[in-house]
Amino acid sequence: MGLTLEHVDRIVDGETHLCDVTLEFPSGSRNILLGRTLAGKTTLLRIMAGLDRPTRGRVLVDGKDVTGVSVRKRNVAMVYQQFINYPSFTVYDNIASPLRLQGVPREEIDRRVREVAEMLRLTPLLDRLPAQLSGGQQQRTAIARALVKDADLLLLDEPLVNLDYKLREELREELTAIFERGRSIVVYTTTEPTEALMLGGNVVILDEGRVLQTGPTDQVYHRPTTMRAAEVYSDPPINYLDLVVEGSQARIGEQVTFALCAHLEGLAPGRYHAGLRANRFFLKRRTDRDVALESQVELSEINGSETFIHVNHQGFPLVVHETGIRTYKMGSTVTVHADPAQFFVFNQEGSLVAAPEVDPGRTPARR
């Protein structure tokens, strides 16, 4: 089954939630909707499921218009952020419930329930009620109930957002393996660039109801076509500096000058925006090409085993992502090092004109 959205708008009480969304989801594909809160991700899922109708545009399944077809008549399964289970049903009965509604024979129900329970490590919990489960176990149950349907379309709306970090990591790995084995079109929403990269497949960057860019997750990460797409697909958001190209040289501010490296050599003289992700700034020099940016510390933020140092360089706010726990005094001066070979360069209209070469040995989400 292939799913197509054609020029979909969704307007509610005069407010635009989706604008001219056109997308294709091939049969068996894994698709990540990446966008910040209120980007339109849930609205788009509800239209795909048949829970809401678009104000304009069409939803097609294998070329057939199903825009007005009720969700009850579509072969769709959906998992929400909240742990939604029937409180009076055991785990077994929760998972089995959609199959019973479909009139599937008892023996087939038992086989499919136990198969999906084994995949999601729920077998020892099949006789328990939801109130006896942890948050992670409850969400596993909700996911199992969606998977057991073997639906044509599997929609997951930030299903791991309410779980702790360790559980999210475990379930991401499990879900990736399950998605690869399944036949369903999977559409999974997230606000986290790292999650999109881990799940793989194709990514759709959604912002304020509009599609900014689509393509394979790694490819879009390494070649965001606009400054806004690069911001959404970076956590923390990508840093920007003004860049002036003058012949074979480039300049940041009035004092920092460097020779154009290979991927920048084709740039015409003029003004640009140089983008660099937080994990490509360093507080120690790493290459002979590095430029040194004297900056003032505004905030040192510790998150687990990582530190995010918020600095200001000549009016440009920058974030440096350092591994390990480090503290820096507010107002102190630090020298931030950046390798121009890692610069994304955008023109004054915000479109990508140069991207760094991809290091095949480096995982995009990590250093």
- The answer to whether the beta carbons of residues 226 and 351 sit under 8 Å apart is yes
46 and 88 inside one domain? yes
Is 147 within a domain?
A: yes
pLDDT for residue 367:
37
Whole-number Å distance between alpha carbons of 158 and 195: 10
206 and 122 inside one domain? yes
pLDDT for residue 364:
53
HSE value, Cβ hemisphere, 13 Å, CA-based, for 291:
25
pLDDT tens digits for 170-223? 888 889 988 988 889 999 999 999 999 999 999 999 999 999 999 999 999 999
247 and 110 inside one domain? no
Q: What percent of the chain has pLDDT over 70?
A: 98
158 and 241 inside one domain? no
Is 243 within a domain?
A: yes
pLDDT tens digits for 83-117? 889 999 999 999 999 999 999 999 999 999 999 99
Is 361 within a domain?
A: no
139 and 279 inside one domain? no
pLDDT for residue 366:
40
What value does the mean pLDDT of the chain take?
94
51 and 172 inside one domain? yes
Which residue ranges in the chain fall short of pLDDT 70?
A: 360-367
Q: What is the CATH number of the domain that holds 123?
A: 3.40.50.300
205 and 109 inside one domain? yes
Whole-number Å distance between alpha carbons of 190 and 111: 32
Is 365 within a domain?
A: no
Is 367 within a domain?
A: no
Q: What is the CATH number of the domain that holds 296?
A: 2.40.50.140
180 and 308 inside one domain? no
Is 202 within a domain?
A: yes
**Strands (E) located in 217-255:** 239-246, 249-252
pLDDT for residue 360:
55
Is 364 within a domain?
A: no
Whole-number Å distance between alpha carbons of 10 and 152: 24
Whole-number Å distance between alpha carbons of 350 and 242: 12
pLDDT for residue 257:
95
Q: How many structural domains compose the chain?
A: 2
Whole-number Å distance between alpha carbons of 339 and 280: 8
192 and 54 inside one domain? yes
Is 268 within a domain?
A: yes
Handedness of CA 298, 300, 301, 307 (dihedral sign): positive
- The answer to whether the beta carbons of residues 120 and 128 sit under 8 Å apart is no
Which of 168, 203, 227 is the last residue in one of the domains? 227
Whole-number Å distance between alpha carbons of 335 and 227: 25
Structural domain that includes position 51: 3-227
187 and 268 inside one domain? no
Taking Cα atoms as reference points, which of 285, 291, 332, 292 lies closest to residue 310? 332
65 and 208 inside one domain? yes
56 and 172 inside one domain? yes
Which of 181, 198, 227 is the last residue in one of the domains? 227
pTM: 0.92
Which of 199, 227, 255 is the last residue in one of the domains? 227
